[in-house]
Structure 1
Amino acid sequence: MAAAAQEQHQFYLLLGNLLNPDNAVRKQAEETYENIPGQSKVTFLLQAVRNAAAAEEVRQMAAVLLRRLLSASFEEVYPTLSPDVQTAIKSELLLIIQMETQSSMRKKICDIVAELARNLIDEDGNNQWPEGLKFLFDSVSSQTVGLHFAPGFQKKFHEKVIAALLQAMEDQGNQRVQAHAAAALINFTEDCPKSLLIPYLDNLVKHLHSTMVIKLQELIQKGTKLVLEQVVTSIASVADTAEEKFVPYYDLFIPSLKHIVENAVQKELRLLRGKTIECISLIGLAVGKEKFMQDASDVMQLLLKTQTDFSELEDDDPQISYMISAWARMCKILGKEFQQYLPVVMGPLMKTASIKPEVALLDTQDMENMSDDDAWEFVNLGDQQSFGIKTAGLEEKATACQMLVCYAKELKEGFVDYTEQVVKLMVPLLKFYFHDDILLSMPLLLECARVRGPEYLTQMWHFMCDALIKAIGTEPDSDVLSEIMHSFAKCIEVMGDGCLNNEHFEELGGILKAKLEEHFKNQELRQVKRQDEDYDEQVEESLQDEDDSDVYILTKVSDILHSVFSSYKGKVLPWFEQLLPLIVNLICPHRPWPDRQWGLCIFDDVVEHCSPSSFKYAEYFLRPMLQSICDNSAEVRQAAAYGVGVMAQFGGDSYRPFCTEALPLLVRVIQSADAKTKENVNATENCISAVGKIMKFKPDSVNVEEVLPHWLSWLPLHEDKEEAVHTFNYLCDLIESNNPIVLGPNNTNLPRIFNIIAEGEIHEAIKHEDPCTKRLANVLRQVQTSGGLWTECISQLSADQQAAVQELLRIA
């Protein structure tokens, strides 16, 4: 006995060492852990998880490792355990969950049970641990335990799971089981693909409806509400997944749901009422405006009534967050017609969005004393200090900010009266970032404010601009930083020329230079780590993650430069010269392909927006760009081909010889055997488009008559919509000018042209509102007037292609 206890004690020390910040200690512990046989590992880990007296982090670590063992090495470990041990593990886990008091630990143990349950369902769907799955279904409604279906779970077991859940929901004698089953159904349908759900929709809806009717009666007679709350959310979840397929069932549910909202006014029914409001708005969004309009005005009146009583609602009333989300859905459904309700809606929304979170700067000792408090989260600032933020209320604040973004996006100029107060609320939050929506809102709010005229817009932008640039310079988290950079770039696109003053440019130039220098430095550091004796697969994985996040920042540097070039054109080049050596460094042949891709994209922008002056930098980028047309990386090929296209279109005479030189390289890519595979198609389409642009804009640099028949044979483009428009417009130019090569002798090429146009329409290569659509329809109409030729062209198309031609004639 003593020996076993000693072994277990050693194992606890080992788990502690796996968390040790000292690399050498941790590495030693990892090696020791790896060498423990699978069976002993399971036993030790299970004992550690079970031991409530063990240190919290040791138990958490044991739970994580046990789950990992069952997911990664199940086949090697579990079958080698004796049947008695297997049975003991199963019953032990279920027992531990029921005894566990700490919620995050409970969730971890539930994850172990879910992992084991998933592995114990065989290929044919036979469940070798029914108690485990039953337990998960049963515990799903408790706040602390979520039933998370593993990826692919729905695909494999949808029939069995749906049948089991519906059966449990019918268990009228057991309220708790019914509620658990309804809650499990919510989790199941939320992640279930629409196509899997549709075959069961009829059956699901029938069960949900009959259960709802019974539970509504029970609420009226006995006041029981738990199951009804879950059923209402299940209905919402099913509608949300089924979308337009829910239309036939709409009239079945809406009257009862409206009845609940109207009558469930007692304090203890607030949650039910909130969930019902959410359900109605989700159904409305699923079935669409046309179907929902019959009830929209009733529903709006019900919501308005609640809203006008809002001042009487207590701050913690659960209806508030449901109301806020429901309004945003109503806005999506009603569109511009929603504007009339803003005066009622905005008060509570701004109140919630303005919640001031509590923050604190603590030393490590104080933080450890507080870290058991679930309501606080901490960020380590180094130097024994931590930044703490009280998370209570933040969820609601984040939702409210999301809704403000939704209104700005849907209502555009209709939201203008509120832009100022929203900006004043959002901008200070940049210093204290907690949600993407703040950043999403910036360019949208500028769009809304535009109707008030340039002065109002400029004032608003100045209020944002300084804060955004500061945030780009100081934000340490790379995910957050990339969002801020993206938002800033979008704002510059909205504001255009003149939106940055000299100080802004100076500060921005310094920041972008620092970001690029840091990019190169980080790459070097990663190379050094790859030479280190500790280097292994795990290290490589984390280096790859770092690399990905660095490249993501590089894409955002490119976004900002793109927006500056497209707004300011050539006059920004003197400012750009401070970055030039760094961008040239990106496109050196020995650099990783993402560097070369984004470096070329930046030079593409220089050529597109700053020509003819761009040619003075030709010595830096022209050779690398031409060499990159046939690069091994599809992304690099695409950036280079796009560059040749803009060179032809915007580049002026100096670029003519380079267009001639590029042509055979572009053709080589287009004609390669795997040109149209998924990973290559975008690069190939950019090459085809570039050939078209050379013929259109620099016709004297190539033999157009010789190239045209080849180019026609490569059409249409499906994937790259922007380039597709260029090629179709050029095709229309050629047809409208009766080009003999394109039309062929006696118009013999017309059936082929019809085919190209029909395929373009089938693949939605051109947006219907684009003027090019009308040009294509006119080409078809011209042929329509000469009966025989029309019949000949149409008869050579497939049924789908004929339908596409008719559609094009109908809309344009």
Structure 2
Amino acid sequence: MAEQQQFYLLLGNLMSPDNTARKQSEETYENIPGQTKITFLLQAVHDAAAAEEVKQMAAVLLRRLLSSAFDEIYPGLTVELQTAIKTELLNCIQAENSSNIRKKVCDVAAELSRNLIDDDGNNQWPEVLKFLFDSMATDFAPNFQKKFHDKVISALLQTMEDQTNPRVQAHAAAALINFTEDCPKNLLIPYLENLVQHLHIIMVAKLQELIQKGTKLVLEQVVTSIASVADTAEEKFVPYYDLFMPSLKHIVENAVQKELRLLRGKTIECISLIGLAVGKEKFMPDASAVMQLLLKTQTDFNDLEDDDPQISYMISAWARMCKILGKEFQQYLPVVMGPLMKTASIKPEVALLDTQDMENMSEDDGWEFVNLGDQQSFGIKTAGLEEKATACQMLVCYAKELKEGFVEYTEQVVKLMVPLLKFYFHDDILERMTTMAAAESMPLLLECARVRGPEYLTQMWHFMCDALIKAIGTEPDSDVLSEIMHSFAKCIELMGDGCLNNEHFEELGGILKGKLEEHFKNQELRQAKRQDEDYDEQVEETLQDEDENDVYILTKVSDILHSLFSSYKEKVLPWFEQLLQLIVNLICPHRPWADRQWGLCIFDDVVEHCSPSSFKYAEYFLQPMLQSLCDSSPEVRQAAAYGIGVMAQFGGESYRPFCTEAIPLLVGVIQAADSRAKENVNATENCISAVGKVMRYRPECVNVNEVLPHWLSWLPLNEDKEEAVHTFNFLCDLIESNNPIVLGPDNTNLPKIFLIIADGVANESVKGEDGCSKRLANVIHQVQVSGELWTQCVSTLNEAQQKAIQDLLNTA
């Protein structure tokens, strides 16, 4: 007891304003063994007699201990002490009267929970789940849904039936929304019948309550729950469609009072989500009536107040209706586009304020501020930005779904979107969403405009191009920047050779060079931070996040270069040379695997699109590419293997010795014991494809007769769909030329070939519209005319494979 009291004094001194006393206490605390610290801290947290500040400090230190030193301390504790920690934390949460301390103890429990769930989602503290169920938990997506769906769904449904406590019902419905949004479809389906029956009973009861008493809280949540379940269940919701749609339409028709605006908006959302889930065929009988309801609301749009919640629901519902109806939606555009453009054109109020002005304004009034210095701040009023962001996303949806049917509106939309590529307030998520929607729209609008001919298309592109390049050079937010870069690359691919002038190339070259130099500089800074005395796991977590952001931008640099190589071919190489040494730096052996992967991908594009001119750069990348075939990283192996394949296919005579040198390396990767493991399969399939391309395009580089039986045994490719088509086309070449090794003596290999084709079709490695599919179907047809051989081939297939063969014959 005395020791515990001494520890309380120590905790008190840790908060002392006296620097000397506090420093001595910190040194004393650091020298206490970890197990003793945990014991004393836990007792302090749970001691009702302890001072509140002591309990708060104990909870903070306990959480910090579990966060920073869990692996060093916790596994070494006795089972009894581990159990005591879990039990005491849960007891303390229930017994503690101070909300401040209870929150801090919840933080401790959360930290312990996080550490007690392994990478596969296995929970080593099951008691906490029961505790959460008893306290009305929402979700710990996605592992929570996978492991505890049976307990959660039944608990939520039971709680939703609590008619005496409407607020509890509403919270249960809200929890169900959170749960189903992240619940895998296959887990939800077994509960679907039970779920919809409960939801229907509650909806009907609450609809009666609305009519009789005017209460709407639970009904609002239940309507959204229905929408969430339908959204997850998709076509499996079809049998229940007629159960809900009449009541939902009734709500939209009759909930016209001002206080029911939110309910009406959520019901509109629910109807459109159900329509999207069940599909056009089931929804069409109601589509006309639903469209009339939406049109009536749309007609009254100008009478709605700016903060009317129906606005954002309406805008989203129109976009879903567009997805459902497809081209048939085009007739509604004249009604929809006016209000949508009005909402998308909302201009946020901005102001440059001095300190005194800012004191007279409040964030509660919808203003947010960024300090520009000691005396000035930049302010933006964010009211209306959510609706603006939603409207811009809907314009993207219309362009994507309607394509040339949207051409009438491309000019006004592009004039709206291009200025949005630059925004003011980088901390505001809504503005980021708006800018990302603007970027995404650019290639879609060009695609819509194609129907008006090259001159109109070129004018539109010229309006976009400068703004896109400038945005790539100035945008500080990595998520927004990546979307802009991706959009720019798509535009280049769409517009093709000649779409950039010399000034564009000069500006773009400087920007991309800067991005690559910044990439290397940031890596150096992160390495320096790892040497700091303050470096710990939390710092490393931050550095990893920064690294992922940098790599993602690197992928977008690769996207832009890919678009330029594929459009301009070897003509772009003189411009590319200003970046060459930086790309070479990426593939140096000491660089991180992601650098080497994307550096190799860039050189893959050089070979594929600029051959045979690419060979003048061979000294920079050929040996690293060959060495990378045996790299420990599967991503690097995959990029290198793809490079060998395009060397064989496009490289020309100069690359012949390297194709020969690569074959044993490729075979070694394919035949490795773990080559088909999940993390390795994509790299392995690229190696198989590369071997096939060498045999197909450079047969002089390999003993085809020796390798071909092995290659056949490695088929089909099921993961990399693009490479699968290459292998199937080569297989068709061999079959159509009656290759004796492939067909075998007296066609004995045909059952094996049938199996390869059936697996490929079943795994959607080839699709009905592909030219490759027609070739494969011809092979099947030729066998079909020979009754005995056909029977023999089909008899080796299971039911799914037989269906795949039949589907191929029907569709190709």
Specify if TM > 0.5.
Answer: yes
Matches of residues 341-352 of structure 1 in structure 2 within 5 Å?
Answer: 341-352=332-343
Structure 2 vs 1, CA of residues 357 and 6 (structure 1 numbering), >3 Å: closer, same or farther? farther
The aligned residue for residue 506 of structure 1 is 506
Unmatched runs of 5 consecutive residues or more in structure 2: 424-430
* Other structure's SS at 2:432 match: coil
**TM-score under structure 1 length normalisation:** 0.87
Q: 1:710-764 CA deviation, whole Å, 9 max, x = no partner?
A: 2212211111111111111111111112222222222222111111111111211
Q: Is the 8 A contact 2:352 2:376 kept in 1?
A: yes
Structure 2 vs 1, CA of residues 71 and 200 (structure 1 numbering), >3 Å: closer, same or farther? farther
Instruction: Choose which of 210, 218, 241 in structure 2 pairs with 1:250.
Output: 241
Aligned AA (1:687): C
Deviation of residue 628 (structure 1)?
1.8
Deviation of residue 401 (structure 1)?
1.5
Structure 2 vs 1, CA of residues 460 and 759 (structure 1 numbering), >3 Å: closer, same or farther? same
The aligned residue for residue 730 of structure 1 is 730
Q: Is the 8 A contact 2:169 2:218 kept in 1?
A: yes
Task: Find out whether 1:519 has 2:522 as its counterpart.
Answer: no
Structure 2 vs 1, CA of residues 228 and 547 (structure 1 numbering), >3 Å: closer, same or farther? closer
Q: Mean Cα displacement is larger for which, 270-279 or 171-180? A: 171-180
Q: Distance in 2 between matches of 1:359 and 1:319?
A: 26
* Other structure's SS at 1:172 match: coil
The aligned residue for residue 454 of structure 2 is 454
Matches of residues 705-716 of structure 1 in structure 2 within 5 Å?
Answer: 705-716=705-716
Structure 2 vs 1, CA of residues 218 and 154 (structure 1 numbering), >3 Å: closer, same or farther? same
The aligned residue for residue 290 of structure 2 is 299
* Other structure's SS at 1:577 match: helix
Instruction: Choose which of 302, 305, 309 in structure 2 pairs with 1:314.
Output: 305
Q: Is the 8 A contact 2:42 2:88 kept in 1?
A: no
Structure 2 vs 1, CA of residues 125 and 360 (structure 1 numbering), >3 Å: closer, same or farther? same
Q: Distance in 1 between matches of 2:506 and 2:757?
A: 49
Aligned AA (1:312): D
Aligned AA (2:159): A
Q: 1:91-134 CA deviation, whole Å, 9 max, x = no partner?
A: 336x628xx9xxxx99x99878988999999989777976x755
Q: Distance in 2 between matches of 1:216 and 1:574?
A: 71
Deviation of residue 413 (structure 1)?
1.2
Deviation of residue 507 (structure 1)?
0.6
Structure 2 vs 1, CA of residues 367 and 739 (structure 1 numbering), >3 Å: closer, same or farther? farther
Q: Distance in 2 between matches of 1:763 and 1:786?
A: 27
Task: Find out whether 1:793 has 2:793 as its counterpart.
Answer: yes
Matches of residues 738-749 of structure 1 in structure 2 within 5 Å?
Answer: 738-749=738-749
Matches of residues 196-207 of structure 1 in structure 2 within 5 Å?
Answer: 196-207=187-198
Instruction: Choose which of 130, 142, 165 in structure 2 pairs with 1:174.
Output: 165
* Other structure's SS at 1:579 match: helix
Aligned AA (2:541): E
* Other structure's SS at 1:552 match: helix
The aligned residue for residue 579 of structure 2 is 579
Aligned AA (1:242): A
Unmatched runs of 5 consecutive residues or more in structure 1: 17-23, 138-146
Aligned AA (2:574): P
* Other structure's SS at 2:775 match: helix
Structure 2 vs 1, CA of residues 226 and 60 (structure 1 numbering), >3 Å: closer, same or farther? farther
Structure 2 vs 1, CA of residues 338 and 224 (structure 1 numbering), >3 Å: closer, same or farther? same
Structure 2 vs 1, CA of residues 295 and 11 (structure 1 numbering), >3 Å: closer, same or farther? farther
Backbone CA RMSD of aligned residues: 4.0
The aligned residue for residue 434 of structure 1 is 432
Task: Find out whether 1:414 has 2:405 as its counterpart.
Answer: yes
Structure 2 vs 1, CA of residues 367 and 484 (structure 1 numbering), >3 Å: closer, same or farther? farther
The aligned residue for residue 274 of structure 1 is 265
Aligned AA (1:192): C
Matches of residues 358-377 of structure 1 in structure 2 within 5 Å?
Answer: 358-361=349-352, 373=364, 375-377=366-368
Q: Distance in 2 between matches of 1:801 and 1:291?
A: 30
Structure 2 vs 1, CA of residues 158 and 357 (structure 1 numbering), >3 Å: closer, same or farther? same
* Other structure's SS at 2:765 match: coil
Structure 2 vs 1, CA of residues 84 and 194 (structure 1 numbering), >3 Å: closer, same or farther? closer
Q: Is the 8 A contact 2:161 2:169 kept in 1?
A: yes
Q: Is the 8 A contact 2:41 2:62 kept in 1?
A: no
Deviation of residue 775 (structure 1)?
0.6
Deviation of residue 438 (structure 1)?
2.1
Q: Mean Cα displacement is larger for which, 704-713 or 446-455? A: 704-713
Q: Distance in 1 between matches of 2:278 and 2:51?
A: 52
The aligned residue for residue 656 of structure 2 is 656
* Other structure's SS at 1:677 match: coil
Q: Distance in 1 between matches of 2:263 and 2:630?
A: 62
The aligned residue for residue 773 of structure 1 is 773
Structure 2 vs 1, CA of residues 408 and 123 (structure 1 numbering), >3 Å: closer, same or farther? same
Matches of residues 563-712 of structure 1 in structure 2 within 5 Å?
Answer: 563-712=563-712
Q: Is the 8 A contact 1:45 1:65 kept in 2?
A: no
* Other structure's SS at 1:316 match: coil
The aligned residue for residue 394 of structure 1 is 385
Q: Is the 8 A contact 2:630 2:665 kept in 1?
A: yes
Q: Distance in 2 between matches of 1:599 and 1:713?
A: 32
Q: Distance in 2 between matches of 1:360 and 1:9?
A: 47
Q: Is the 8 A contact 1:377 1:389 kept in 2?
A: yes
Deviation of residue 548 (structure 1)?
2.2
Deviation of residue 643 (structure 1)?
0.9
Deviation of residue 610 (structure 1)?
0.8
The aligned residue for residue 543 of structure 1 is 543
Deviation of residue 53 (structure 1)?
12
Structure 2 vs 1, CA of residues 616 and 549 (structure 1 numbering), >3 Å: closer, same or farther? same
Q: Is the 8 A contact 1:354 1:425 kept in 2?
A: yes
Q: Is the 8 A contact 1:630 1:669 kept in 2?
A: yes
Deviation of residue 608 (structure 1)?
0.6
Deviation of residue 377 (structure 1)?
4.5
Aligned AA (1:558): S
Deviation of residue 44 (structure 1)?
7.5
Structure 2 vs 1, CA of residues 46 and 368 (structure 1 numbering), >3 Å: closer, same or farther? farther
Q: Distance in 2 between matches of 1:778 and 1:390?
A: 65
Q: Is the 8 A contact 1:70 1:116 kept in 2?
A: no
- Percent of matched pairs sharing the same residue: 76
Q: Is the 8 A contact 1:777 1:809 kept in 2?
A: yes
Q: Mean Cα displacement is larger for which, 731-740 or 773-782? A: 731-740
Q: Mean Cα displacement is larger for which, 359-368 or 607-616? A: 359-368
Q: Distance in 2 between matches of 1:29 and 1:311?
A: 69
Deviation of residue 372 (structure 1)?
6.1
Q: Is the 8 A contact 2:10 2:29 kept in 1?
A: no
The aligned residue for residue 156 of structure 2 is 165
Deviation of residue 367 (structure 1)?
7.3
Deviation of residue 321 (structure 1)?
1.0
Q: Distance in 1 between matches of 2:394 and 2:753?
A: 47
Matches of residues 81-160 of structure 1 in structure 2 within 5 Å?
Answer: 87-92=91-96, 96=99, 133=133, 136=136, 147-149=138-140, 151-160=142-151
Q: Mean Cα displacement is larger for which, 623-632 or 27-36? A: 27-36
The aligned residue for residue 428 of structure 2 is none
Q: Mean Cα displacement is larger for which, 543-552 or 630-639? A: 543-552
Deviation of residue 536 (structure 1)?
3.9
Deviation of residue 41 (structure 1)?
4.8
Q: Is the 8 A contact 2:608 2:650 kept in 1?
A: yes
Aligned AA (1:331): C
Q: 1:279-311 CA deviation, whole Å, 9 max, x = no partner?
A: 111111111111111111111111111111111
Q: Is the 8 A contact 1:360 1:388 kept in 2?
A: yes
Q: 1:769-812 CA deviation, whole Å, 9 max, x = no partner?
A: 11110110010001111212211221222332222111111111
Task: Find out whether 1:265 has 2:256 as its counterpart.
Answer: yes
Deviation of residue 429 (structure 1)?
1.5
Deviation of residue 568 (structure 1)?
0.5
Q: Mean Cα displacement is larger for which, 795-804 or 169-178? A: 169-178
Q: Distance in 2 between matches of 1:630 and 1:234?
A: 51
Instruction: Choose which of 224, 228, 231 in structure 2 pairs with 1:237.
Output: 228
Q: Is the 8 A contact 2:593 2:633 kept in 1?
A: yes
Q: Distance in 2 between matches of 1:415 and 1:51?
A: 68
Q: Distance in 2 between matches of 1:429 and 1:13?
A: 52
Q: 1:316-357 CA deviation, whole Å, 9 max, x = no partner?
A: 111111111111111111111111111111122222222222
Structure 2 vs 1, CA of residues 262 and 540 (structure 1 numbering), >3 Å: closer, same or farther? closer
